[in-house]
């Protein structure tokens, strides 16, 4: 809608968020989600750097593309016929967040700009925060920082948000980008605004910090973009309409609030995100690929010293998803084990998913992560499984607030004449909404396909010992139990 509506509440203009008078000084690209995206001069200074262009080599869906490719012999590329958009990258996503951040702040400026004191400085800051929020992201989505680094750096807590801050400073220095220090400081604050323990606290125009990375209630344009982009890429239906929220939001008491009648729209935002985690991000076979890539990177780390690249932006920006191709095509003896794992993925010889169960609701509060050792200790005395044979993943899926209802953190207003905000009790909206807001799913895999039956039985024994019954939904597939592998 931008500044082209002359203060009237009208449908979004075809031109998007950029004011008409800035078009002569901007560049536009066509995005398959948002249509034409207009990039201003300041944004282009960052985009036209090798550090930002690196995001083209970071797939938004991480190892998911390896799974899709491995669905066909030797990665024939036929995946593009089934999932033509499944190869979108952090580059497209970053441009999309830039555009939505621009749209959001322009809407607020159009309708409440004088009241809120929104200036051009604020608009530029929010836009750059959207553009640069993922510039420090590691390869293979969040797997790199959550699963690989803690295992090679003794439990290190490293975040791509922190690296984004370092990368921004590095880009500015390396390319002599002329940017106001105050703008740069606020851009970096906005990027880490949602990080636990890094709240920006009470700030002037606090609502601006909630647009890109909302630590207050989890509603931000980052989610708007990746939910829309990922559901489209994977061919899934998405009944969440972020446009409705963008059109009706308003600021009350320094907080972005939403019209009360959009309660169910907001619920769909969180439930759609949870569905993506269940059906895409945490798909059992996709997680099997994740586990294999983590093992491959760990085995390659001594030779390639991958973890050493996270210390300095000057080295880190050279790390991307192509590290897998580097391993796969190397002939070095030290990379043989890692190389064999990557080739197993290509040949669809992936770690075998044995089974899973959902932790009973009454056990969620005091649940302790299940380990491979727990499963080994539950095997029959005549079995000979060792810890290396078993991998356990504890998958947590929630609506962003753990076991709590995320909508309890959101402030609403009744109508456009209202100047008061309030919270809404869910039983005032519907009795069909969930009574529980979190799932914990325990999954077990084996690295050796011949051990599926033994691992599955030990997993069943563990459930009987822990809960007094088998809580898994499906029995171990008979075809896996009968599967025989020829000795090589």
- Start-to-end CA span in the chain (Å): 65
Which one from 30, 160, 175, 267 is the annotated catalytic residue?
A: 160
Q: Please determine, for residue 79, whether its predicted confidence score (pLDDT) is greater than 70.
A: no
More confident residue, 198 or 129: 129
**Distances 488 to 191, 307, 485 between C-alpha atoms, Å:** 52, 35, 9
Query: Is residue 326 one of the residues assigned to a domain?
Result: no
Query: Is residue 445 one of the residues assigned to a domain?
Result: yes
pLDDT of residue 471: 76
Is residue 382 located within the same domain as residue 240? no
Is residue 263 located within the same domain as residue 380? no
Cα separation, 216 vs 203, in Å, equals 13
pLDDT of residue 251: 97
Q: Which residues of 377-416 are buried (b: 16+ CB within 10 A; e: fewer)?
A: ebbeeeeebeeebbbbbebebbbbbeeebbbeebbbbeee
> Which residues lie closer than 8 Å to 16 by C-beta, 6 or more apart?
2, 34, 35, 36, 37, 38, 99, 102, 103
Is residue 43 located within the same domain as residue 132? yes
Is residue 190 located within the same domain as residue 269? yes
CATH number at residue 27: 1.10.3210.10
- What residue spans of 311-415 are helical by DSSP H? 313-316, 323-329, 336-346, 372-376
Q: Are strands 250-252 and 412-413 parallel, antiparallel or unpaired?
A: unpaired
> Which residues lie closer than 8 Å to 316 by C-beta, 6 or more apart?
136, 163, 167, 309, 310
Q: Please determine, for residue 486, whether its predicted confidence score (pLDDT) is greater than 50.
A: no
Residues 220-261: tens digit of each pLDDT: 999 999 999 988 888 877 778 899 999 999 999 999 999 999
Range 472-480 average pLDDT:
62
Query: Is residue 115 one of the residues assigned to a domain?
Result: yes
Is residue 252 located within the same domain as residue 395? no
Q: Which residues pair with 412 in a beta bridge?
A: 258, 422
DSSP, residue by residue, 189-217 = HHHTTTSTT----S-TTGGGGGTTS-TTT
Cα separation, 249 vs 8, in Å, equals 15
> Are 206 and 252 contacting, i.e. CB atoms less than 8 angstroms apart?
no
Range of the domain at 372: 352-399+437-488
Point out the least confidently predicted range of 17-21, 317-321, 421-425.
Answer: 17-21
Is residue 74 located within the same domain as residue 163? yes
Cα separation, 68 vs 155, in Å, equals 31
Q: How confident is the model at residue 25 (pLDDT cuts 50, 70, 90)?
A: low
Range 327-341 average pLDDT:
96
Mean pLDDT of the chain: 85
pLDDT of residue 14: 40
- Give the domain-ending residue among 236, 254, 284: 284
Cα separation, 364 vs 460, in Å, equals 19
Question: Which of 350, 292, 305 lies closest to 143 in space, CA to CA?
Answer: 292
pLDDT of residue 10: 35
- Give the domain-ending residue among 233, 259, 284: 284
Cα separation, 363 vs 439, in Å, equals 11
- Give the domain-ending residue among 284, 306, 335: 284
> Sign of torsion, CA 224 229 234 239?
positive
Question: Which of 438, 285, 416 lies closest to 359 in space, CA to CA?
Answer: 438
Point out the least confidently predicted range of 2-11, 166-175, 193-202, 465-474.
Answer: 2-11
H or E, element range at 27: strand 27-31
Catalytic: 160? yes
Is residue 44 located within the same domain as residue 153? yes
Query: Is residue 252 one of the residues assigned to a domain?
Result: yes
Query: Is residue 429 one of the residues assigned to a domain?
Result: no
CA angle 469, 474, 479 (to 5 degrees): 125
Cα separation, 71 vs 414, in Å, equals 50
Range 400-419 average pLDDT:
89
Is residue 236 located within the same domain as residue 374? no
Range 60-74 average pLDDT:
53
Backbone angles phi, psi at 434, to 5 degrees: -65, 150
Query: Is residue 423 one of the residues assigned to a domain?
Result: no
Is residue 280 located within the same domain as residue 362? no
Point out the least confidently predicted range of 56-60, 161-165, 432-436.
Answer: 432-436
Query: Is residue 328 one of the residues assigned to a domain?
Result: no
Number of structural domains found in the chain: 2
Cα separation, 435 vs 427, in Å, equals 10
Q: Please determine, for residue 82, whether its predicted confidence score (pLDDT) is greater than 60.
A: no
CATH number at residue 482: 3.30.70.2760
Residues 3-22: tens digit of each pLDDT: 333 333 333 444 345 554 55
Residues 443-456: tens digit of each pLDDT: 999 999 999 999 99
More confident residue, 17 or 462: 462
Is residue 380 located within the same domain as residue 478? yes
- DSSP-derived 3-state class of residue 456: helix
Residues 356-385: tens digit of each pLDDT: 999 999 999 899 999 999 999 999 877 789
Is residue 247 located within the same domain as residue 383? no
Query: Is residue 13 one of the residues assigned to a domain?
Result: no
Q: Please determine, for residue 482, whether its predicted confidence score (pLDDT) is greater than 60.
A: no
């Amino acid at each position: 809608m931008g500044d082209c509506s002359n203060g009237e509440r009208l449908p979004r203009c075809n031109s998007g968020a950029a004011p008409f008078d800035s078009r002569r000084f901007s560049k536009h690209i066509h995005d398959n989600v948002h249509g034409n995206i207009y990039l201003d001069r300041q944004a282009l200074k960052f985009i036209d750097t090798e550090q930002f262009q690196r995001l083209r080599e970071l797939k938004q869906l991480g190892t998911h593309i390896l799974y899709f490719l491995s669905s066909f012999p030797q990665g024939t590329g036929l995946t593009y016929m089934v999932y033509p958009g499944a190869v979108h990258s952090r580059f497209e996503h970053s441009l999309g967040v830039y555009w939505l951040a621009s749209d959001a702040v322009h809407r607020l400026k159009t309708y409440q700009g004088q009241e809120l004191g929104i200036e051009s400085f604020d608009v530029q800051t929010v836009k750059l925060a959207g553009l640069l929020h993922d510039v420090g992201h590691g390869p293979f989505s969040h797997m790199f920082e959550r699963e690989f680094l803690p295992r090679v750096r003794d439990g290190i807590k490293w975040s791509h948000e922190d690296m984004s801050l370092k990368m921004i400073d590095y880009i500015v220095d390396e390319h002599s980008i002329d940017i106001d220090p105050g703008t740069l400081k606020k851009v970096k604050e906005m990027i880490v605004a949602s990080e636990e323990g890094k709240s920006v606290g009470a700030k002037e125009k606090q609502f601006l910090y909630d647009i890109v990375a909302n630590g207050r209630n989890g509603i931000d344009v980052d989610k708007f973009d990746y939910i829309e982009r990922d559901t489209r890429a994977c061919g899934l239906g998405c009944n969440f309409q972020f446009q409705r929220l963008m059109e009706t939001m308003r600021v009350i008491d320094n907080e972005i609030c939403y019209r009360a009648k959009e309660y169910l729209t907001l619920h769909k935002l969180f439930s759609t995100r949870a569905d993506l985690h269940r059906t895409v991000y945490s798909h059992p076979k996709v997680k099997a690929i994740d586990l294999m890539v983590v093992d491959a990177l760990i085995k390659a780390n001594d030779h390639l010293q991958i973890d050493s690249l996270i210390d300095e932006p000057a080295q880190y920006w050279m790390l991307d998803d192509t590290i897998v191709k580097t391993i796969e095509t190397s002939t070095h003896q030290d990379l043989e084990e890692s190389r064999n794992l990557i080739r197993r993925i290509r040949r669809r010889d992936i770690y075998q998913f044995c089974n899973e169960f959902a932790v009973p609701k009454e056990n969620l509060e005091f649940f302790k992560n299940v380990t491979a050792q727990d499963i080994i200790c539950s095997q029959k005395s005549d079995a000979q499984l060792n810890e290396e044979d078993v991998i356990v993943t504890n998958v947590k899926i929630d609506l962003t607030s753990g076991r709590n209802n995320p909508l309890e953190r959101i402030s609403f207003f009744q109508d456009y004449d209202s100047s008061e905000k309030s919270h809404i009790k869910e039983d005032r909206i519907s009795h069909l909404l969930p009574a529980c807001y979190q799932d914990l799913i325990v999954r077990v895999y084996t690295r050796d396909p011949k051990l599926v039956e033994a691992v599955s039985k030990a997993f069943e024994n563990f459930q009987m010992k822990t809960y007094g019954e088998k809580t898994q939904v499906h029995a171990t597939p008979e075809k896996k139990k009968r599967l025989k592998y020829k000795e090589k």
